[in-house]
Amino acid sequence: MKAKKGFELRQVGDQRIIVAKGVENIDFGKIIAMNASSAYLWTEVDGKEFTAETLADLLVKKYDIDGNMALEDSKALAESWLKAGIIEE
């Protein structure tokens, strides 16, 4: 997987959101809010190839959580990013 070009993480007030750069990508119906851990993961993998396992490893290192739980959460997050259209396989 890889983040699609034309999207970036921005801080708006106390929210972190993914926004489209460029007029051709603007769709205000698809503003994606991120919590602290998903924003961290986005920052770490933006511009790189990654898998759900990559995301899980990053979560384990940062938050010292169970690897199985991190993998399940990472799979769900990657699926939601795919559905939102901000990453591609």
User: pTM of the prediction?
Assistant: 0.86
Please list, in sequence order, all residues whose beta carbon lies within 8 angstroms of the beta carbon of residue 45, skipping any fewer than 6 positions away: 3, 54, 55, 58
pLDDT: which is higher, 55 or 20:
55
- State how far the Cα of 23 lies from the Cα of 41, in Å rounded to an integer: 26
Does residue 51 have a pLDDT over 80?
yes
From residue 50, give the alpha-carbon distance in Å to each of 23, 28, 55, 78: 27, 27, 7, 10
Which two three-digit tokens encode residue 81? Answer: 């990013």
CATH (domain of 30)? 1.10.10
What tens digit of pLDDT does each residue of 24-46 get?
A: 555 555 668 899 999 999 999 99
Domain containing residue 69 = 2-88
How many separate domains does the chain show? 1
What tens digit of pLDDT does each residue of 62-73 get?
A: 999 999 999 999
Percent of the chain with pLDDT over 90: 63
Angle, nearest 10°, between helix axes 67-84 and 52-63?
A: 130
